[in-house]
Structure 1
């Protein structure tokens, strides 16, 4: 459930509907649009150009960067060498070793051995591993022995004639020095560059640099580092950067990815996460606690790159921290975005439920946060301001907003710690806006509790996160209409519809019209995640996809770019007619499922409202009536019950019955046998991924909820703190009547809901951008929308600039084809009142000059 805020009126505008006084007096009533059998639906759209709606901050839309989907190393961070400091290991990923991405190589009869060591000869205390190369002295003057790095993805992407900066830290025990050679080559050893020769002298760590220029363009190169002679050579921080990074910065960013982010014109940059921030342990990277799974701590990520810590990434890989807090602040400045860092609050989230009860550790993290503000804003005479200046930026970065915590599932524990952070920050930096959060979902007990705590404490801003189905976004355009105008402001830090089809982007666009309409409440908003490696990713949807040499915007990227570059500075009150609604009863078969649990089901009975038996199964004759999904779980009849025995399997849904069933009662006995959660009983099943289910003992057996799945996502309709006992048999009954559902557990009413919210496909908002009216219309349906538009003023230019995103709802942008791209044109015939037909499945921006 969302917080129950009241609707308020301001300056003659009803914020819930954005009608100014003249419209409210009857200029245009909101009546359903008329349907045309030819596939066109008629609408009206009225604008009150003389009225004033909420102001829109220039920072309303921004971007959120988290190192998920290999977004940093091998992504935005331009380093081309993977595992450059030999720090990979099973703490990062079970398949990793210190030589991941490296291979031994030899030529001309040279021999030797390589070994990754952590000994007294290490580069420094944080960069502990290094490569020891013992050269056997074979191969004469031409033989060479060493290692080759395969880069990321298919290899190292090179462009003919471009410059690539090589560097390595090295030392040798040979008094005369060791001749080191670096070159770029193909997988079969064909050399692509003139060899770069370096003489390593002395047995102390020294940085050596040079430049390589490839003779060909390829996407599958390798970097070879070899040596001749005998003795022991030690190597660390083997690096290769394209000279052409974003803004030409050393230790910089991959240009095409940075440019695509900059093209969004973001108002803020939230970093570095996400779940990355508040998961793992909370130990410092200090001896003797060489902890590789710890929370993200900003001090690990600044200073010379060779002295920065490494960490096991929450998403199952390694992170080097070459892209650190200094680089984040610099990138925000480069793209004209407000920096918005997030620090851990010592309460885990993202499916982990643990609070750290250590007053000294809490005090240290609070001090670290105060030091972060000093690093961003302090004078060069302060300790951390001096550190920033030493890194190359004497001028303060201008930090104004800071988030504490992310998606915590323990609301009271989080808020107690958040309060301590807030008290300390406000005492020293009252100018900083401190952002709290509301947990991991758009509704539910955690959401309600955190909003209540935030409201009562007078918190400035609350970070909401949700990933839901396209239908949810179409149904919830009015979500913020009723939020308290005097309460905390909203930072919608993470949201997306769960896929990358154009249908998903259309639903997000429809929702964004509601964000703009409520710009006085929703002050910041960012789609998430931002980046994804097409070959290695943990999450879909994503805004920008890439491989080792190409990048492309998803359909959602095109929507975000259109909105972010045409926001305007003030909402203009407007209203449109609605789409004729056709709402039938909930229909569908029934199902049984488990999630990381073994459970038994028996005595299933489905009875129609008139008393007819639709299904009755006690499994004495087997389970032939039930259809499993291939590869999900292990179902068999055991001891007269239908049992799923694989505790590791998730979403093991088996179904029975007719998709056309309606108005029925489902009864079943369910018993949890073992595992992490409870059991799931489905109804209204109309296909894989399209159903309702009662999730009893979900989320690690911490709560229960009714979820609605469809279009690749889920939404929660009802929630309760019910947990499930192992070995106990529960009597479950689900009563479906029309669109109302009532649920009973052991004969007692557990809850009920009516799923009758309209998924409105025609949404709009109007903003003023200096002298222009920007009419933004989303038509997320198969019918075209023939619309009579009243601009509310005759002082308009006769033509308008038209920008349209249009395509099939299943269209997906890829590396080879981007069917969803903006199309611009000039629209004549603009007057106070005119008619325009918005195409089916489209987002359209009409920019009209007002005189």
Structure 2
């Protein structure tokens, strides 16, 4: 009897344990994503882009390949004598005296350097410029050196690139007798390399020499347009659909007298006055000006988004009653970009080498100025004037419609977010419940920063991944997205982190940069309907995208696992053939051993996306997501699968595919023929509906 009671009790415990186990298991089901490949909507073509600001020497000493810092000796100010930093004097007080004078031939750049050479010498004396923390001179490469000089008596000059160890890398000797200012230009070919070299101009002859507007540019910049090749390529690899420029706070200035003004940044370099970038604390010669920004956008095959000053800085502003000249400046800037060569400013653009208008479709009226006393009044003046002259241009307000309804007309509203990794991850649903009518959202600046970010951690990228997937999901409202800042010179970290880190000769992307590459396929893709059942630390999305080079189509599923443990993940794809062939499917993984890991010059690819074949791809998959990771699964779509997945989301595209399948007749395959009829019918209905709507 005792044995029977014990046995019965054991069985009861086993049953209860089994029941409890199933309850626990049911409470913690395997996370899953169910994708409907036949239903979705188009993501805007402009979805993912870049934002360039002159910060951290991003342009001067960075993307803009000019090697000389303070080319016109203007950085020390207009009062004389002035500081000529970073120029240094070669020689001592017994051999040379250097000062500044207001004797330049250029009215807007009056400062020039005067060199009084006390006596003849065997060793040359003069000036040396280290560039932006060292000039990268490479063996076999050519460099164009340009400067203006004046010398009442004949003088012998040596122009040379000199390495950090004093070794001469390239040089030329010239003899001058120039009673009046004259432009000197020569090309030096390097016979050795040094990434920490300097440019030296020296003489051994007694006399007086004036120098001004000294420039040194590599001849092998991108397309000869002045952009440093390696940095340009890193930007191009992001495949941006727009370029927002030139700021940021750089547009505003701490004071209006130091704001970016486009008219001061066009024309011959020596005639540009340059200005003190008082927000970020350094002088810029403005060699990288308005025309160069437009050229950069064109070279990247992307759309420019021009941000202009609206009469407001951080500390002063123009009253609305006096804003007229600023409005005219903006109108002139638009005409310079896209006006015909018969217009005043279009003619000037052509004179400077670009007769073809640029494709300027977007402008932003100020930066982060919403709520300031004169912003609304000034904004309306700009908006009405631009809308009158250029009704097709889309305008962007600084005011954030997610905080309160807009009290101004706008095509887009600006949204900026800098915060912690967990906070930005939690904002994946920020736009889920926002108003869908009126202005669209432009998330023009986002990033994880401060403690979580350091110099660019995996932790930052994980948080941003969740946020970006949320923006992708809400791309019916959020039409444009860009990270900030884009660049940092490692010698001048005014703001961290930044997507691309560089010095005179090296560069690397932080994890956030590589994360962005996983979203380059989103612009113009189709966002597919899906249902996610998962804990709050896991977010997933699905898109259908086309490789622009191969014209092959893929179904991409992106998943971020923001958790210290790995997890299994169920993926179900509906709406495709059961026998679909996923040969060539891949998975791309972004992760590392610690969330605090960073890339560096020593280990530039410590954290990068790693692609590998996807094991056993199918419409029903159970995969493992590593801890703290972002994974992208790419499944190639065969012709029939592409037709099926396009049938509802894009019947016109699907019908066109079928026409290409047999250009002389409808498809002979019965199932394809029936699908062709259905798609053609759907496309005709949609086309007729669009025509009816447009006629109304």
State the TM-score bracket (shorter-chain normalisation): 0.7 to 0.9
Once the 2 structures are TM-superposed, how far is the Cα of residue 171 of structure 1 from its aligned partner? 1.6
How far does the alpha carbon of each residue in 1:278-309 deviate from its partner, in whole angstroms, 9 at most, with x for none?
12333xxxxxxxxxx42211111001010002
Once the 2 structures are TM-superposed, how far is the Cα of residue 213 of structure 1 from its aligned partner? 2.3
The 3 A distance-change label for structure 1 pair 33 and 404 is farther
The 3 A distance-change label for structure 1 pair 514 and 85 is same
How far does the alpha carbon of each residue in 1:367-423 deviate from its partner, in whole angstroms, 9 at most, with x for none?
010001110101111111111111111100111001111111535521211010000
| Partner residue in 1 for 2:440 | 489
Once the 2 structures are TM-superposed, how far is the Cα of residue 137 of structure 1 from its aligned partner? 4.2
Matches within 5 A, 1:201-240: 201-240=177-216
Once the 2 structures are TM-superposed, how far is the Cα of residue 192 of structure 1 from its aligned partner? 2.3
Once the 2 structures are TM-superposed, how far is the Cα of residue 33 of structure 1 from its aligned partner? 9.4
More displaced stretch, 408-417 vs 824-833: 408-417
**Structure-1 separation of matches of 2:524 and 2:565:** 29
| Partner residue in 1 for 2:424 | 473
Contact 1:34 1:42 in 2 (8 A): no
**Structure-2 separation of matches of 1:385 and 1:561:** 36
| Partner residue in 2 for 1:127 | 109
Gaps of 5+ in 2: 1-22, 547-552, 642-696
The 3 A distance-change label for structure 1 pair 130 and 380 is same
Equivalent position to 1:777, from 528, 537, 559:
559
The 3 A distance-change label for structure 1 pair 33 and 47 is farther
Residue 375, structure 1, aligned to residue 336, structure 2: yes
Residue 357, structure 1, aligned to residue 341, structure 2: no
| Partner residue in 1 for 2:51 | 64
How far does the alpha carbon of each residue in 1:642-665 deviate from its partner, in whole angstroms, 9 at most, with x for none?
xxxxxxxxxxxxxxxxxxxxxxxx
**Structure-2 separation of matches of 1:65 and 1:529:** 7
| Partner residue in 2 for 1:307 | 271
Residue 158, structure 1, aligned to residue 137, structure 2: yes
SS in 2 for 1:202: strand
Once the 2 structures are TM-superposed, how far is the Cα of residue 479 of structure 1 from its aligned partner? 0.6
Once the 2 structures are TM-superposed, how far is the Cα of residue 568 of structure 1 from its aligned partner? 5.0
| Partner residue in 1 for 2:587 | 802
How far does the alpha carbon of each residue in 1:769-794 deviate from its partner, in whole angstroms, 9 at most, with x for none?
14321111111211222111111134
Contact 2:53 2:248 in 1 (8 A): yes
Residue 403, structure 1, aligned to residue 364, structure 2: yes
Once the 2 structures are TM-superposed, how far is the Cα of residue 173 of structure 1 from its aligned partner? 1.4
Contact 1:62 1:526 in 2 (8 A): yes
Residue 115, structure 1, aligned to residue 99, structure 2: yes
Residue 347, structure 1, aligned to residue 312, structure 2: yes
Equivalent position to 2:602, from 804, 810, 816:
816
Q: Normalised by the size of structure 1, how large is the TM-score? A: 0.68
Equivalent position to 1:76, from 63, 68, 82:
63
**Structure-2 separation of matches of 1:122 and 1:473:** 52
**Structure-2 separation of matches of 1:308 and 1:68:** 20
**Structure-1 separation of matches of 2:309 and 2:266:** 17
Residue 331, structure 1, aligned to residue 296, structure 2: yes
**Structure-2 separation of matches of 1:568 and 1:199:** 59
Runs of 4+ aligned residues of structure 1 deviating over 4 Å after TM superposition are: 31-36
The 3 A distance-change label for structure 1 pair 32 and 222 is farther
| Partner residue in 2 for 1:561 | 517
**Structure-1 separation of matches of 2:386 and 2:589:** 45
SS in 2 for 1:430: coil
The 3 A distance-change label for structure 1 pair 243 and 472 is same
Contact 1:110 1:228 in 2 (8 A): no
Equivalent position to 1:787, from 547, 560, 569:
569
**Structure-1 separation of matches of 2:104 and 2:69:** 19
**Structure-2 separation of matches of 1:553 and 1:457:** 39
Q: Which structure's residues are more often strand, by fraction?
A: 1
Once the 2 structures are TM-superposed, how far is the Cα of residue 34 of structure 1 from its aligned partner? 7.0
Once the 2 structures are TM-superposed, how far is the Cα of residue 359 of structure 1 from its aligned partner? 3.1
How far does the alpha carbon of each residue in 1:491-541 deviate from its partner, in whole angstroms, 9 at most, with x for none?
111010111110110110111111111111111110000000112111112
How many pairs are equivalent?
598
| Partner residue in 1 for 2:168 | 191
**Structure-2 separation of matches of 1:479 and 1:86:** 49
| Partner residue in 2 for 1:322 | 287
Q: Normalised by the size of structure 2, how large is the TM-score? A: 0.82
**Structure-2 separation of matches of 1:104 and 1:159:** 25
Residue 45, structure 1, aligned to residue 45, structure 2: no
**Structure-2 separation of matches of 1:379 and 1:816:** 50
The 3 A distance-change label for structure 1 pair 137 and 561 is same
**Structure-2 separation of matches of 1:134 and 1:35:** 85
How far does the alpha carbon of each residue in 1:460-495 deviate from its partner, in whole angstroms, 9 at most, with x for none?
100111101111112111111111111210111101
Contact 2:320 2:374 in 1 (8 A): no
Contact 1:74 1:152 in 2 (8 A): yes
Contact 1:69 1:536 in 2 (8 A): yes
| Partner residue in 2 for 1:577 | 533
**Structure-2 separation of matches of 1:275 and 1:300:** 18
Once the 2 structures are TM-superposed, how far is the Cα of residue 188 of structure 1 from its aligned partner? 5.1
Query: What is the RMSD of the two structures over their aligned residues, measured on CA atoms?
Result: 2.3
The 3 A distance-change label for structure 1 pair 831 and 91 is farther
**Structure-2 separation of matches of 1:50 and 1:309:** 58
Matches within 5 A, 1:1-12: none
Equivalent position to 2:84, from 99, 124, 132:
99
**Structure-1 separation of matches of 2:612 and 2:24:** 30
| Partner residue in 2 for 1:89 | 76
Residue 848, structure 1, aligned to residue 652, structure 2: no
Contact 2:49 2:482 in 1 (8 A): yes
How far does the alpha carbon of each residue in 1:424-476 deviate from its partner, in whole angstroms, 9 at most, with x for none?
0001100110111126xxx9xxx73xx42x3x434110011110111111211
Equivalent position to 2:159, from 174, 182, 189:
182
Q: Which structure's residues are more often helix, by fraction?
A: 2
